Amino acid sequence: MSTVTTATSTVDLTKIKPYGDTYNDGKVQMSFTLPVPDGEEAQEAARQYAKLMGMDEPSVTHHSDLGIGYTFFVVYGPVHHTVDYTKIHVTKVESDVFDRVECGEWIAKNIGRTITMVGASTGSDAHTVGIDAIMNMKGFHGHFGLERFKNVNAVNMGSQVPNEELIAKAIELNADAILVSQTVTQKDVHIKNLTNMVELCEAEGIRDRMLLLCGGPRISHELAQELGFDAGFGPETYAEHVCSYVMQEIVARGWVNKK
């Protein structure tokens, strides 16, 4: 494993645990809601629940009545579990990341044509914040979206777009990549929608002709690949991450002269 900068040279990376008040004390803070009215009984219920979760001598540091018989709690205390950091492997997108200007220059030099990406929030998802952050010119958090990238044709279809319509637009434009944003994820609706997207692409015979990417707050690269996508982009990823991956994959797959 590569060298890791730690808080102290005495850290045992095979047995790491949380730091709260002092090193290695295992102190953690958690929050949750119980379906009971606020009161001493509710606080005791929260303490008992935290104990069942492995917290030793938990303290209820905050409790708040949410109305109609619900109470929100913040609980603090030590746990004894440890994690072997040296055995952790995270499946992630493996590609060099270039900034916006570098992406445009790289595309011109190595592909020599405009690359097209079509994206939307699909299914019942009415939230555009994710797809807009990646595609819209203004972008998000100081990172411009794909519409501002040179040599990139970014087509944002908005929200609540049926998978069939997104695929049809990608076929019409002979897109290099389809981008699917999933913000609403209650009851794993994003899993069902993303699975359907892959199935429809396979049925249309385009799965091997276009990159299929998804993103959202509960999306990881590992989950995306399990569902049949080429890559997944979760929190703290921006347009340059998506563009860098797509343009390098186009070259790697021999799609430079795609027709």
Question: Tokens in use for 19?
Answer: 């730091």
The three state secondary structure string of 201-241 is HHHHCCCCCCEEEEECCCCCHHHHHHHCCCEEECCCCCHHH
Question: Tokens in use for 242?
Answer: 């998506």
Q: In terms of Cα–Cα distance, which of 134, 147, 161 is closest to 233?
A: 134
CA distances from 196 to 174, 193, 202, 258 (A): 21, 5, 10, 26
Query: What is the CB-side half-sphere exposure of residue 141 using CA atoms within 13 A?
Result: 10
Tell me how far apart the 2 most distant CA atoms of the chain are, in Å: 70
Distance of alpha carbon 237 from the chain centroid:
8
Q: Which of 15, 87, 109, 138 is catalytic?
A: 138
Question: Tokens in use for 169?
Answer: 């637009």
Q: In terms of Cα–Cα distance, which of 221, 225, 238 is closest to 103?
A: 238
Active site residue 258: no
Buried b (16+ CB within 10 A) or exposed e, 113-142: eebbbbbbbbbebeebebbbbbbbeebeee
Catalytic residues: 138
